[in-house]
A and B are shown apart, each in its own frame.
Chain A
Amino acid sequence: KNQVEQSPQSLIILEGKNCTLQCNYTVSPFSNLRWYKQDTGRGPVSLTIMTFSENTKSNGRYTATLDADTKQSSLHITASQLSDSASYICVVSEGDYKLSFGAGTTVTVRA
């Protein structure tokens, strides 16, 4: 069973609207949680990295939250743009080296 579960699997939103992606994990010991954006056919690009003590981190219109107690994270996209259409991957670092990847949420932004 995957230790990092993301929801929804996919979503479609209209340009200018907001959306929130969810990530639940069971990875332990927890080191940090990362959100990546991956355009089709390209390598993932890091959006945010949060350690245990961080509750929220922003990168432009992307805001990630982390609740280490409930082992949940969310990625909020504000005022979506067509260029936000991509797969968003939640990655949890277990200890120093091991990364566990979620299956990703595919976001499609329509004009």
Chain B
Amino acid sequence: DSGVTQTPKHLITATGQRVTLRCSPRSGDLSVYWYQQSLDQGLQFLIHYYNGEERAKGNILERFSAQQFPDLHSELNLSSLELGDSALYFCASSVDGRGRVNEQFFGPGTRLTVL
């Protein structure tokens, strides 16, 4: 158990809908990262938040947005869902915002299925 929690574990929805994925980082970790992992692709970095502020953006679609709240939990919002958004969404946390040697601890993931 990494100490990172994600809810829900599974999510099934229809095209065009909007969903919210939630992540609680490890106690004391200030950074939260979101990743997408599709069946035919490796992990794709989406976005990084540090202590409530956006620090870096990766391959995140405009239909997707995220935020980190004062209690440091984070939410990833996915809207106007398409079939291709079906994937595993992982959240990871680390102690601070520097990726230099900070180990990222991954949550168990949310499996999103868009029908």
Contact = CB atoms under 8 A, between A and B. Distances in A.
Interface of A: 31-32, 34, 41-46, 49, 51, 89, 93, 95-99, 101-104
Nearest to B4: A43
Contacts of A49: 101, 103
B106 interface: yes
Interface of B is mostly: loop
Contact of B45 (A43, A44, A101, A104): A101
Given A32-B101, A43-B90, A99-B99, 9 more contacts: A31-B100, A32-B100, A44-B43, A44-B90, A89-B42, A97-B99, A98-B58, A103-B42, A104-B42
Most buried by B among A45, A89, A99: A99
Interface residues of B, number: 27
A41 B43 CA distance: 12
B6 to A, nearest CB: 8
Contacts of B43: 44, 89, 101
Contacts of A34: 103
A78 B59 CA distance: 36
Given A41-B109, A43-B109, A51-B101, A98 B45 contact: yes
B75 to A, nearest CB: 18
Given A43-B2, A44-B106, A101-B44, A95 B99 contact: yes
Contacts of A102: 42
A24 to B, nearest CB: 15
B18 interface: no
B106 A45 contact: yes
Contacts of A101: 42-45
A94 B42 CA distance: 18
Residue among A43, A49, A98 with the most chain B CB within 10 A?
A: A43
